[in-house]
Structure 1
Amino acid sequence: MDRHSVQWRGYIPAITTPFTGDGALDLDALDRLLGWLHQEGMHGIIIGGTQGEWFTINQAERKQLMQAVGRKLSGKIPLIAGCSGYTSQEVAAHAKLAADHGFNGILVTPPPYMVPTDREILAFYREVNDQVSLPICVYNWPPGTNVDMSLDLLQQIAELSNVVAIKNSTADLRHFVDVFFALKDKVRVFGVPMNDLGILLVQQGADGTMGAGAVLGRELPGYFNAIWDDDIPRARRLGDRNEVLMRAWFNTDYTGRFGSAQAIFKAALNELGLPGGYPRRPLLPLEPEGVRVVRQTLVQLGKVSA
């Protein structure tokens, strides 16, 4: 496999997982959210990723999620399952569920918390590669793993037979650009900023962004649609609107300014009248001041009334 083995491109959000106030998985809310995401023209979706709070979901719930998403959207848009875990065996078990329910690929970080060495990360991905059948998107997520994978390491991982893409969520812009130009002909590279630099990178062959939350709806895939249509003024307008949200809600390393990213996105969806639901403990809903900031930003963008 390589970049040509999949048709992933554009805006592919890592979606939130709706929970009720007492922490139960809310499949009815998920169904409504999936319907809205598809209607808004997402180029694919990721479930069970960082924004999907994979770290709180047990295997039975994971199966329910994959069944629900596969039943709703399999064959309609690309489906990628977040399958991160502490061991390659955990990842393989998650990946089997994804394959069984019509997913097109998996997203995998290095094992979190333990801060493995380059040698250990490469061995981990080799073991995952040998145990799974689906295409793999490697996820470089420094805030969650405490590792910003080097170009040399990513080049070695990209040679594995099932690796087709990299979601490079580094805050180091130079590193992102270096990885993109080194590997763009081998694997699909996601993580371009939605601004003028993003426009230039997409014009040079960058594949898109695996974003989060999708709270601006069709504006987000619209940014990439506009670039592909050579409507650069429209792409700039849509990118600027996303930048307003990112600056107001997130730090430069993509962590939340006034709560967890998951709580921020869920509060925003709720303010929009969409099924965001609640974060699951140990994460907590936003404090009232955080909700006020979220709503103020949405009012500024014309998404809700004052």
Structure 2
Amino acid sequence: MRKGEQFAGVSVAMVTPFTADEQLDIEGLDRLVDWHVEQGTKTLVPVGTTGESPTLDHDEHRRVIERVAAHAAGRIQVMAGTGSNSTREAIELTRFAKEVGVDGALMVAPYYNKPTQEGFLRHFATVADAVEIPIVLYNIPGRTGANMLPKTINLLGEHPNIVAVKEATGSMDQACEILTGSQLTVLSGDDSLTLPLMAMGASGVVSVVANIVPKQLLELTDAMAKGDLAKARAVHNRLFALCKDMLTLATNPIPIKGAMKLLGTSNGVLRLPMTPLGDDGYQQLRKTLEGCEIL
């Protein structure tokens, strides 16, 4: 059995709801938590990239983690985003998350300052030494500017507190090197690649589209876990156009907040520098949602 299997299945990379004047919408956050509990989502992941963490100040970041943890109240797992390009700040955020009762921490690779592989090793090991909590590594070089190589990830996997990796490089070879070289649970970081990654041995997904279709994502991951490839493939094919729209229409989380606005589950408010979809983007998204029989 792999480490980190408690996070198998569907984790939702939660959006952060804002009011019309771009303040945190705490009541909206509560509604999202309640809805995901009803839908059967396995784990909530607040204040990741989809949660617009770069535009939240430190106090807001902590408020979102604390509120989600409190409102989840043991009904659903919480894997809080606590990553930073400052190791000291990552330790502080991860300690706070543990104090308020989350089940794990999702830690993005340090961004912008582009550490060496030795820097990645020391960064994550230092946090894991400082805070006894299950840590999920998040490798997304398209956002951070540097790739954490499989050898580095596999070495980090030897630490007892590092249990899984959210794999968002888009490389099947990289994912396979982790699956064959460590006991870490691998979670897809790209909705469109969940099925192929699970076919290789991954255990689930940290999903953007699960903000609107968590039950369908659960169908896919449950089917793959049971070896029912035909059922999983049917769900994958049904949702593929939507997954691609989330990646290609605009930078995440612009498309998912646009989809939630069309579905009436969000006002779609983003904080600068994120800007809403234009008319063409909304038309394409509406067409895709209708084609997937969601709208």
TM-score (norm 1): 0.89
Contact 2:109 2:148 (C-alpha < 8 Å) held by counterparts: no
The answer for the alignment partner of 1:298 in structure 2 is 289
Q: 1:144 to 1:233 in 2, by over 3 A?
A: same
- State the alpha-carbon separation in 1 of the partners of residues 104 and 219 from structure 2: 23
1:244 and 2:231 are equivalent in the alignment: no
Q: 1:225 to 1:81 in 2, by over 3 A?
A: same
1:285 and 2:276 are equivalent in the alignment: yes
The answer for the alignment partner of 2:63 in structure 1 is 64
Letter in 1 for 2:187: F
Contact 1:11 1:211 (C-alpha < 8 Å) held by counterparts: yes
CA shift at 1:5, angstroms? 6.1
CA shift at 1:22, angstroms? 2.3
In structure 2, stretches of 5+ residues that fail to align are none
1:185-244 Cα distance to aligned partner (Å, 9 max, x none): x2111118233x34523xxx4211112241223101111122334443322111112212
> Map of 1:265-284 to 2, 5 A cutoff?
265-275=256-266, 277-284=268-275
In structure 1, stretches of 5+ residues that fail to align are 251-256
**3-state SS in 1 of match to 2:48:** coil
CA shift at 1:248, angstroms? 3.4
The answer for the alignment partner of 1:16 in structure 2 is 15
Letter in 2 for 1:113: Y
CA RMSD of aligned residues (A): 1.9
1:134-192 Cα distance to aligned partner (Å, 9 max, x none): 11111111111111211111122112231011111112222122222222xx2111118
The answer for the alignment partner of 1:120 in structure 2 is 119
Q: 1:217 to 1:132 in 2, by over 3 A?
A: same
Contact 1:70 1:103 (C-alpha < 8 Å) held by counterparts: yes
Contact 1:95 1:132 (C-alpha < 8 Å) held by counterparts: yes
Letter in 2 for 1:86: N
1:89 and 2:67 are equivalent in the alignment: no
CA shift at 1:276, angstroms? 5.4
Q: 1:237 to 1:20 in 2, by over 3 A?
A: same
Greater shift, 28-37 or 260-269, is seen at: 28-37
Contact 1:194 1:243 (C-alpha < 8 Å) held by counterparts: no
1:95-114 Cα distance to aligned partner (Å, 9 max, x none): 12211222011011221111
> Map of 1:120-199 to 2, 5 A cutoff?
120-183=119-182, 186-191=183-188, 193-195=193-195, 197-199=196-198
Q: 1:115 to 1:15 in 2, by over 3 A?
A: same
**3-state SS in 2 of match to 1:171:** coil
Contact 1:11 1:210 (C-alpha < 8 Å) held by counterparts: yes
Q: Please, which of 203, 209, 212 is the counterpart of residue 207 of structure 1? A: 203
Contact 2:4 2:185 (C-alpha < 8 Å) held by counterparts: no
- State the alpha-carbon separation in 2 of the partners of residues 44 and 264 from structure 1: 22
Aligned residues: 291
Q: Please, which of 213, 220, 224 is the counterpart of residue 223 of structure 1? A: 220
**3-state SS in 2 of match to 1:280:** coil
- State the alpha-carbon separation in 2 of the partners of residues 83 and 98 from structure 1: 8
- State the alpha-carbon separation in 1 of the partners of residues 170 and 235 from structure 2: 22
CA shift at 1:63, angstroms? 2.4
- State the alpha-carbon separation in 1 of the partners of residues 118 and 204 from structure 2: 29
**3-state SS in 1 of match to 2:95:** helix
Query: Percent same amino acid at aligned positions?
Result: 27
Letter in 2 for 1:123: R
**Comparing both structures, which one devotes a greater share of its residues to helix?**
2
